[in-house]
């Protein structure tokens, strides 16, 4: 039966969405003044339409605080924002950075270009050296950064010490940026109070003082013409949500009726576990941190067996431990939703970086043959709606359904309109059993009625061995063949429910670019920049099974290009396997970083 979100449930979800952000092709032009006679004059620049700001420092220096402060404050002020981070696998030290794009248009892609750089210390600037150009303005002590073309002399360390210690340097930096963008000080003060509301009043006051010092400096830079950022504010973003991928997936799970999550923390998937833990009391979610991934997924299967809607969240290394239980789900025909946030492997690999290396891992995980579905969101909206859908698909077809994301997707923020909760339906596919109930009864479509213990008079017997219709172990070989065919027959129905890939661009393309998951937004922005009418994008938010129209779309193109974050072209190989169409060119990146817009623009312009 179909169950719509009740008014009460919709209100609660809406409240959760509200707390996550709702509140009250840009061209960059630049001009120099002073002819480079001193460091202050060399820094002079006017930036219009869009600005890319990078903040870098060591782990523990509050880079995350700057990201949260700036993205929330700028969005509330009416700017479109995008933020993503790259960070080392360590608690203290190293070199981390956050990129924040602020634009008059919607932005959701990583760019190499840095317009304004705020290094919290000298050592970290070297890590971004290849992205610093003559047009990059560095905000910091001019003696420390004398080797950079444009420096605005701001003694962040001294200003922070005046307030109460170096720990406040990040808040000073946030104050400078908000003033450069002409944000009202009241908006800044309001969010500083909100961000540090859990701290002692003295800490709140010191952060307010630090923000005020930075805001005063930024305002002087703006009014003096030394550094001017001119970006039109539409006002619309102030009423939108500011989410990252982990929050989008988590909210989709809540909307899908998730009431059980049992996982072992593993970067970059842990954000989903922590978000659901933070909101477990509001939505009636049982949350447990398992002792390992084997325990986690088996508990998830147990939850579904008992009638709950469960999910596990992990990364590639953790999922490796889950594969036996994936096979168990296939044999027992027990639903399960599995979120795998990819990172570079093999083994521990680069635990805090991004990759699309686990498609094959998920596609072929588990011994034996049984159906599955793999979804891979490209936008934050996809993350919400696809995760909601995953629970219904798992329930309907009694199979594992995977949500395949990556570190870049999980850790990136941008503003989006609130999803329409009124359209969400949840399928309750549980039957009340009778005394004659048989869990694996043969049916025309391969889907047996699923009962749960205690709901009806029947016995719900399941077993990891091959079994008969009642769930009892069997070695009847003819029955074995019938049971395999029964399970695989679900694929016929699953293929009727496949999500069609999204075509971006003209349907009269000559060159067709294929992509899946998180590469969507950067390719879309690059296509908009180059404005080539002969190149279109076919983006897959469901990567298995493939939609029946794919082969026809591929054969229309004179050249098929695949862009993905791995070394072997895993999706390109799947396309060839499923459609018989050869991919003409593979654009691959596997150093742990996402594609930048500049890289994609260059790759698309080179296509002939």
At residue 96, the pLDDT reads 87
Model pLDDT for residues 47-77, shown as the tens digit of each residue = 999 999 999 988 777 788 889 999 999 999 9
Q: What are the backbone dihedrals phi and psi of residue 48, each rounded to the nearest 5 degrees, phi first?
A: -125, 145
At residue 482, the pLDDT reads 98
Q: Is the peptide bond before 268 cis (omega within 30 degrees of 0)?
A: yes
At residue 43, the pLDDT reads 61
Q: How confident is the model at residue 475 (pLDDT cuts 50, 70, 90)?
A: very high
List the domains of the chain with CATH numbers: 2-13+242-419 (3.40.50.970), 23-239 (3.40.920.10), 430-497 (no CATH), 502-605 (3.40.50.920)
Burial of 172 (C-beta count, 10 Å sphere; 0-12/13-18/19+): buried
The answer to whether 15 and 283 have CB atoms below 8 angstroms apart is: no
> 477 in the Ramachandran plot: left (φ > 0), alpha (ψ -120 to 50) or beta?
alpha
What does 295-317 look like in DSSP terms, one character per residue? HHHHHHHHHHHTT--EEEEE-HH
Over residues 313-323, mean pLDDT? 98
- Residues 279, 233: Cα–Cα separation, whole Å: 33
At residue 122, the pLDDT reads 76
At residue 4, the pLDDT reads 44
Q: How confident is the model at residue 1 (pLDDT cuts 50, 70, 90)?
A: very low
**Residue among 342, 344, 269 nearest 592 (CA):** 344
At residue 57, the pLDDT reads 84
Q: Indicate the range of 98-102, 143-147, 465-469, 573-577 predicted with least confidence.
A: 143-147
Over residues 25-44, mean pLDDT? 41
Model pLDDT for residues 413-454, shown as the tens digit of each residue = 999 999 998 889 998 899 999 999 999 999 999 999 999 999
Q: Residue 274's Cα: distance from chain center in Å? A: 15
Q: Is the peptide bond before 346 cis (omega within 30 degrees of 0)?
A: yes
The answer to whether 260 and 303 have CB atoms below 8 angstroms apart is: yes
At residue 28, the pLDDT reads 41
Over residues 556-581, mean pLDDT? 98
Residues written for the chain: 608
Model pLDDT for residues 574-588, shown as the tens digit of each residue = 999 999 999 999 999
Model pLDDT for residues 172-221, shown as the tens digit of each residue = 999 999 999 999 999 999 999 999 999 999 999 999 999 999 999 999 99
Model pLDDT for residues 79-138, shown as the tens digit of each residue = 999 999 998 888 777 788 999 999 999 999 999 999 999 998 777 778 888 999 999 999
Report percent pLDDT > 90 for the chain: 83
pTM: 0.92
Q: Indicate the range of 36-45, 217-226, 425-434 predicted with least confidence.
A: 36-45
Over residues 522-545, mean pLDDT? 96
Whether the predicted pLDDT of 7 surpasses 80: no
Q: How confident is the model at residue 31 (pLDDT cuts 50, 70, 90)?
A: very low
């Amino acid at each position: 039966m179909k169950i719509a979100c009740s008014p009460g449930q919709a209100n609660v979800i809406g409240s959760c969405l509200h707390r996550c952000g709702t509140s009250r092709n840009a061209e960059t032009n630049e001009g120099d003044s002073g002819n480079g006679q001193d460091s202050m004059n060399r820094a002079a620049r006017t930036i219009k339409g869009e600005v890319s700001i990078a903040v870098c420092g060591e782990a523990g220096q509050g880079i995350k605080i700057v990201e949260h402060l700036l993205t929330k404050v700028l969005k509330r002020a009416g700017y479109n924002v995008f933020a993503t981070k790259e960070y080392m696998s360590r608690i203290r030290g190293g070199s981390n950075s956050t990129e924040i794009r602020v634009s008059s248009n919607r932005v959701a892609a990583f760019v190499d270009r840095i317009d304004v750089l705020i290094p919290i210390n000298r050592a970290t600037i070297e890590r971004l050296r290849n992205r610093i150009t003559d047009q990059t303005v560095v905000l910091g002590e001019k003696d420390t950064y004398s080797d950079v073309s444009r420096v605005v002399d701001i003694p962040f360390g001294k200003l922070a010490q005046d307030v109460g210690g170096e720990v406040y340097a990040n808040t000073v930096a946030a104050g400078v940026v908000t003033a450069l963008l002409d944000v009202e000080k009241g908006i800044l003060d309001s969010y500083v109070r909100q961000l540090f509301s859990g701290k002692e009043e003295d800490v709140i006051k010191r952060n307010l003082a630090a923000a005020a010092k930075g805001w005063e400096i930024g305002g002087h830079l703006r009014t003096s013409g030394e550094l001017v950022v001119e970006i039109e504010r539409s006002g619309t973003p102030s009423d939108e949500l500011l989410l990252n991928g982990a929050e989008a997936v988590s909210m989709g799970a809540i909307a899908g009726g998730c009431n059980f999550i049992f996982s072992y923390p593993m970067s970059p998937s842990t954000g989903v576990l922590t978000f659901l833990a933070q909101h477990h009391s509001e939505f009636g979610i049982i949350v447990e941190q398992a002792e390992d991934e084997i325990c986690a997924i088996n508990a998830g299967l147990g939850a579904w067996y008992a009638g709950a809607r469960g999910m596990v969240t992990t990364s590639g290394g953790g999922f490796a431990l889950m594969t036996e239980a994936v096979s168990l789900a296939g044999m027992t025909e027990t639903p399960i939703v599995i979120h795998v946030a990819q990172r570079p492997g093999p083994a521990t690999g680069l635990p805090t970086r991004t990759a699309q290396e686990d498609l094959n891992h998920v596609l072929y995980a588990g011994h034996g043959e049984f159906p599955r579905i793999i979804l891979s969101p490209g936008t934050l909206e996809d993350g919400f709606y696809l995760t909601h859908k995953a629970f219904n698909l798992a329930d309907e077809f009694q199979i594992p359904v995977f949500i395949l994301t990556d570190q870049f997707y999980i850790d990136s923020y941008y503003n989006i309109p609130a999803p329409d909760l009124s359209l969400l339906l949840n399928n309750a596919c549980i039957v009340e059993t009778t005394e004659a109930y048989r869990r694996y009864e043969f049916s025309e479509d391969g889907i047996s009625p699923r009962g749960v213990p205690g709901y009806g008079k029947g016995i719900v017997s399941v077993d990891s061995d091959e079994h008969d219709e009642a769930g009892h172990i069997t070695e009847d070989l003819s029955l074995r063949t019938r049971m395999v065919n029964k399970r695989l027959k679900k694929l016929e129905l699953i293929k009727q429910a496949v999500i069609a890939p999204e075509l971006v661009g003209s349907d009269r393309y000559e060159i067709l670019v294929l992509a899946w998951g998180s590469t969507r937004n950067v390719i879309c922005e690059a296509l908009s920049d180059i404005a080539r009418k002969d190149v279109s994008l076919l983006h897959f938010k469901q990567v298995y099974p493939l939609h029946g129209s794919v082969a026809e779309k591929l054969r229309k193109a004179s050249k098929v290009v695949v862009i993905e974050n791995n070394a072997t072209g895993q999706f390109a190989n799947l396309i060839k396997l499923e459609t018989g169409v050869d991919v003409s060119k593979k654009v691959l990146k596997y150093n742990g970083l996402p594609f930048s817009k500049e890289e994609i623009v260059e790759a698309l312009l080179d296509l002939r």
